Each structure stands twice: as C-alpha cells, then as structure tokens.
A and B are shown apart, each in its own frame.
Chain A
C-alpha cells in the first residue's frame, strides 16, 4: 500500500507544507506537482490528490506542496511572486530527492500557471529534471493577469451593476503599487511585475528535458491536436489535448479526477522511462 506523509519543509526562514505520496517498495520515479494559483488551486485540489494517489500505486513517488503565499505554507499571498514560487518548486524537488534517495532525478507536473513555474524550476534543476508535464498551459502571464482581472470586474458588476474600475484602471492601479483583489486574494506589486514578464515559450526554450503540454478540451475531441505555434519550436516538446471539464473553475460538476489527462500523462511518463 502506498503511504501519505504530510510534512513541512524549510526554505530559508520559511516553512512550506507538502504531502509526500510514497509507493510501496522502491519508487521507480519521482514527480513534483506545481498546482495552479489561488482559487484555481482550491477548485482543482482534489484532482491532484487523486492523481498523486494513482501515480503512487504505479510506483511513482509524488510530492504535492503549497507555494509560499498559498495553502498552509508561510507568507501572505501578497508577499509571494513568481520568483519565490520557482524557488519553492526547486526546493520541493530537492526535498523529494532527499526523502527518496534511490531517485536520480524527478519530473515536474505543472497546472495552469503552475506549468510555467514548473518549466522554470525544471530548467534550473538541470539534468536532475527528467521530464515536464504541463496541464492546460498558460502561454503568457499577462494574458493570465487579464483573466484574473476579469474576475474583479465580474465582482464589481455583481455588486454595483457596473464596473466603475475598468480593466485598464486596475492595471494603472497595479502599476502604481496598489493591491487589487481577485476572489479575496490580493495581487500586489511583486506578483504583478513578475506575472506580466512571464512567457511560457521562453521558459520552454531553456528546457533540457522532454516535455508534454496537454491542453484541456471541454468539448468533443478535435480532429487535429496540432501544437500551437509558440510552443512548436523544439523537438523535445510534445503536444496533446484531452477532454476534461475546466475543473479548476467553479462549475456545477464536482471533479475529483481528470481521467483523460491522467491517462495521457502516465502513458507519456512510462515512455520516457523505457
């Protein structure tokens, strides 16, 4: 039976919370999961718990963890940025390697913005990073910021029937150092600055290990799963799509699993190791 060990690990003066899923016997491989941000993390949390359990049953040691500023880890959300999250992911990989000394390297799995963070962490980890999986990749931090701000606008509309602070006004406020609220999370200057500079294609360029990017398709599977242009530059980067609901957003469905993305990911991981 695989076991699950909740733990805290240190990074400088801060503590990060993690959950280590240990397979029975010697692990064949290791995987660090970098989840999405803020409410997307909460809505999707159970999918990654199920994924980690499934992988542990197949001999893979998995470390899920909370970035600083999220979950049970130290720092307020406003204090953490992209750079701190990349540091956290690298540290999580080191912790997994320390705790499972038979492993010579690990792979990363990142979801949504966690995909970009996982890509940066994998590049920094060098040869010890053996693979990268990205679920529902976000090509640009700036685009993602606009998605977040849409939530702020929707809240204004729900509250007042209008949105007196337009998206542009919110960006001006962020530029001026104001904290802007999105679903109760404060986006401060650090996260804003680092978010708008984040480009997944550039991060993938620096990657040594193979990667699989899986786009979530909410409708029926499309005939062509041709990669989007910005990602298609390197031979070690593959693309796929999987039919899954947007389990990281509030919906009528209660999603505890992402079976299609899980199956694709496991097939790909197995291929990397054989």
Chain B
C-alpha cells in the first residue's frame, strides 16, 4: 500500500509536547476530507498492543483517510506525568475523560496544519471511551470503538484507592467528625494524615454528586434505563453515548467474542437501555468478531476488524447515499483534488 509515515509533535493546552505519528495516503494529509484519530488503549501508546493501530490504519489510508496516532500526555513518548501508581486507578481516570483535552489538541492540529475539519475518533478500549467522551466536539464526525468499556475498572480492596463506596462513605463520616478538632488539623498540616484516603473520599463524593446532577443538569435527554443498570457503571458513559447519538452521527462498535467488555456493553448498557437505543439503531454498526480476544491478538481477528472497518467507512463516508458522505462530498466540491473515492 502507498502509505507514508511522519512524526508529528503537537502541544496540548497544558503545554505538554505530544509525540504522534501521522500515517498518510499518497498525496499527503493536507486537504483530506476526513482524518482518523487513533487514541492510546490504556498505557499501550500510539501503537496499541502488537502494533495493532499500524495494522488498522491501513483500512483508513487505503481509502484516502490519513490517520493520526496520538500518544497522550504522560504516555508513550509524550511529555507529562501520570499521577496514579495503580493501573486500575489510571484506567478509571481515562474513563472519566483524562485525555479529552489531548484529543482536542489533536483535532486543532489537524485543522490548522492540514485543513481537516471532520474526524473519525476512537481506538481500542481506553481509546474508544476517550473518543466517545470527546465527541461533544463537533469536529468529530464519527466514533470508532473497539472494546468500548462501560463499567469502571477499580475493584474493591484494602487500600484507600480500592475501598468500596460504602467503606468510603463510612470513613467520610468519621473524618467529618474530626473537622472541628484542632489535633486533626495539626495532623493534616504536619503531613501525618492519609491524604490518599482523604482524596478518595472527597473525589468519590464529588463524583457521586456529579453523577446525581448529570441527568437534570447536563443532558436532560438521557433516558432512564428500562431495567436496573449495573452497580459499577461509568457515570459518564450514558450521557456521552446518548448525547452523541442525539447529534445524528454514526459509530462503529467492534467487540471481540471472547472479551468481557462485550458482555459488559450488552448486559450493563445495551439491555437496560434497549428501548432508549431503539431510535438510534441506524446510526450504530455493532460487530462481534468471532473467537477474538480483547487485543485482537490473532491475524484473523485483525483482518476481520480491518474488513469491518473498511465496510463501515465505505457505507458511512464514501457512499453518496449516506448523510455523512454529503458532508464529505461538499468538502470535496470545495477541494476536488483531495477527495479520494474508495478504490
């Protein structure tokens, strides 16, 4: 395939240099109707496990769509530090949108340097949820999600980071009683307190409050589930998902048959919200790859993911009948040199 690869260094709003890689079709990226932005899955950098993103990029580039693979701040080669020292705590922060700002910076770069205003955004797991959470940005034309997580990662345990909500609530009651005690304040100021626990209690309370506020404050149109959802949902997921669907944009959701995240999506989201999802069926392409694991760790799985990706791109972006294609075609009319039809 005729593809070139070049290094792109951009800066996020905090000034961190993000070292990214741009996979370009023949003729380069400048002026392309669309770009794809692939986002780090967990800590697995802009490459993904077993260089998965390089393989998936081929389906986009073959259709004239450049692919920007982004190393988030604190990951891969990029600048910045991650404050967490446990993986599950970090994964939860990703699910709360830790890297949405990095996505906006990538979109800014594509817009300013390549003139690209419409992007397909996502990736595997953490990359998928980050793409969805970033989709309030109107430049995101579609979400591309492989193994989209709907539930939080952190599990119960003895340490502050892994206490259950009930434990944190009971601890918070104890700490509230200490607020008026001088000795407690001395301990706090002399670095003797358990800051990690205090932070967890406060952030847990704030998260719960935010989650309670969300239906009325942020997205009044988030429907109520028909059945009780799971106890460990990501409170950011339903508003982001329904907010995205309400805008009329399409999404490809690829799941692996042998991945627990497939069942999480099915049982913790799709079933409880089945009625609410019904009107949006035409926007959602959901594919389950037989015999695949979470990382698409076989050539057959990768090939099938590539095939499904290509078919979705053809239907949503390169068919003249699709609503998204109308946007592409109008962009192509403005710049007829750069719109590359499917081979």
Q: Is the CB of A4 within 8 A of B76?
A: no
> Does B296 lie at the interface of the complex (its beta carbon under 8 Å from any beta carbon of A)?
yes
CA distance A46 to B9 in the complex (A): 18
User: Which residues of chain B come closer than 8 Å to A42, judged between CB atoms?
Assistant: 43-45, 47, 49
CA distance A239 to B5 in the complex (A): 41
User: Which residues of chain A come closer than 8 Å to B75, judged between CB atoms?
Assistant: 46
Q: Is the CB of A38 within 8 A of B19?
A: no
Q: Is the CB of A39 within 8 A of B49?
A: yes
Q: A42-B45, A46-B75, A184-B52 are in contact. Are A254 and B297 (CB under 8 A)?
A: no
Q: Is the CB of A256 within 8 A of B81?
A: yes
CB distance from B172 to the nearest CB of A (A): 25
CA distance A254 to B86 in the complex (A): 5
CB distance from A85 to the nearest CB of B (A): 16
CB distance from B56 to the nearest CB of A (A): 13
Selected contact of B296 from candidates A4, A38, A39, A184, CB within 8 Å: A184
> Does B176 lie at the interface of the complex (its beta carbon under 8 Å from any beta carbon of A)?
no
CA distance A256 to B80 in the complex (A): 11
CA distance A46 to B78 in the complex (A): 10
CA distance A49 to B296 in the complex (A): 27
Selected contact of A6 from candidates B19, B51, B74, CB within 8 Å: B19
Interface residues of B in 42-74 (CB under 8 A from A): 43-45, 47, 49-52, 74
Q: Is the CB of A6 within 8 A of B9?
A: yes
Q: A108-130: contact bitstring with B at CB < 8 Å (1 yes, 0 no)?
A: 00000000000000000000000
> Does B282 lie at the interface of the complex (its beta carbon under 8 Å from any beta carbon of A)?
no
CA distance A253 to B81 in the complex (A): 15
Q: Is the CB of B87 within 8 A of A184?
A: no
CA distance A79 to B298 in the complex (A): 17
CA distance A252 to B153 in the complex (A): 11
Q: Is the CB of A186 within 8 A of B299?
A: yes
CB closest residue in chain A, given B50: A184
User: Which residues of chain A come closer than 8 Å to B298, judged between CB atoms?
Assistant: 181, 184
Q: A39-B49, A77-B50, A253-B85 are in contact. Are A49 and B77 (CB under 8 A)?
A: yes
CA distance A207 to B271 in the complex (A): 63
> Does A228 lie at the interface of the complex (its beta carbon under 8 Å from any beta carbon of B)?
no
Interface size on A, residues (CB 8 A): 30
User: Which residues of chain B come closer than 8 Å to A250, judged between CB atoms?
Assistant: 87
> Does A71 lie at the interface of the complex (its beta carbon under 8 Å from any beta carbon of B)?
yes
Q: Is the CB of A19 within 8 A of B77?
A: yes
Interface residues of B in 141-194 (CB under 8 A from A): none
User: Which residues of chain A come closer than 8 Å to B52, judged between CB atoms?
Assistant: 184
Q: Is the CB of A254 within 8 A of B49?
A: no
CB closest residue in chain A, given B21: A72
Pick from B19, B51, B52 the residue with the most CB of A within 10 Å: B51
Summarize B's interface: helix, strand, loop or mixed: loop
> Does B321 lie at the interface of the complex (its beta carbon under 8 Å from any beta carbon of A)?
no
> Does A185 lie at the interface of the complex (its beta carbon under 8 Å from any beta carbon of B)?
yes
Interface size on B, residues (CB 8 A): 35
Interface residues of A in 2-23 (CB under 8 A from B): 4, 6-8, 17, 19
Interface residues of B in 13-41 (CB under 8 A from A): 17, 19, 21
Q: Is the CB of A4 within 8 A of B297?
A: no
> Does B84 lie at the interface of the complex (its beta carbon under 8 Å from any beta carbon of A)?
yes
Q: A4-B17, A42-B44, A184-B52 are in contact. Are A159 and B87 (CB under 8 A)?
A: no
CB closest residue in chain A, given B77: A19
Interface residues of A in 49-96 (CB under 8 A from B): 49, 70-72, 77
Interface residues of B in 82-97 (CB under 8 A from A): 82, 84-90
Q: Is the CB of A251 within 8 A of B295?
A: no
User: Which residues of chain A come closer than 8 Å to B47, judged between CB atoms?
Assistant: 42, 71-72
> Does B333 lie at the interface of the complex (its beta carbon under 8 Å from any beta carbon of A)?
no
CB closest residue in chain A, given B91: A254
User: Which residues of chain A come closer than 8 Å to B86, judged between CB atoms?
Assistant: 252-254
Q: B245-262: contact bitstring with A at CB < 8 Å (1 yes, 0 no)?
A: 000000000000010000
> Does A142 lie at the interface of the complex (its beta carbon under 8 Å from any beta carbon of B)?
no
CA distance A54 to B166 in the complex (A): 42
> Does B314 lie at the interface of the complex (its beta carbon under 8 Å from any beta carbon of A)?
no
User: Which residues of chain B come closer than 8 Å to A181, judged between CB atoms?
Assistant: 297-298
> Does A183 lie at the interface of the complex (its beta carbon under 8 Å from any beta carbon of B)?
yes
Q: Is the CB of A184 within 8 A of B295?
A: yes
> Does A193 lie at the interface of the complex (its beta carbon under 8 Å from any beta carbon of B)?
no
Selected contact of A252 from candidates B17, B81, B88, CB within 8 Å: B88
> Does B7 lie at the interface of the complex (its beta carbon under 8 Å from any beta carbon of A)?
yes
Selected contact of A254 from candidates B7, B51, B90, CB within 8 Å: B90
CB closest residue in chain A, given B76: A45
List chain A positions with a Cβ less than 8 A from chain B: 4, 6-8, 17, 19, 38-39, 42-43, 45-46, 49, 70-72, 77, 155, 159, 181, 183-186, 250-254, 256
Closest 10 CB pairs between A and B?
A: A184-B50, A184-B297, A6-B7, A254-B87, A185-B50, A6-B19, A254-B90, A42-B44, A254-B84, A19-B77
Beyond contacts A19-B19, A184-B52, A256-B81: 17 other A-B pairs, Cβ-Cβ < 8 A, are A4-B19, A6-B9, A42-B43, A42-B45, A45-B45, A46-B43, A72-B47, A155-B297, A159-B258, A183-B50, A184-B296, A184-B297, A250-B87, A252-B88, A253-B87, A254-B89, A256-B74
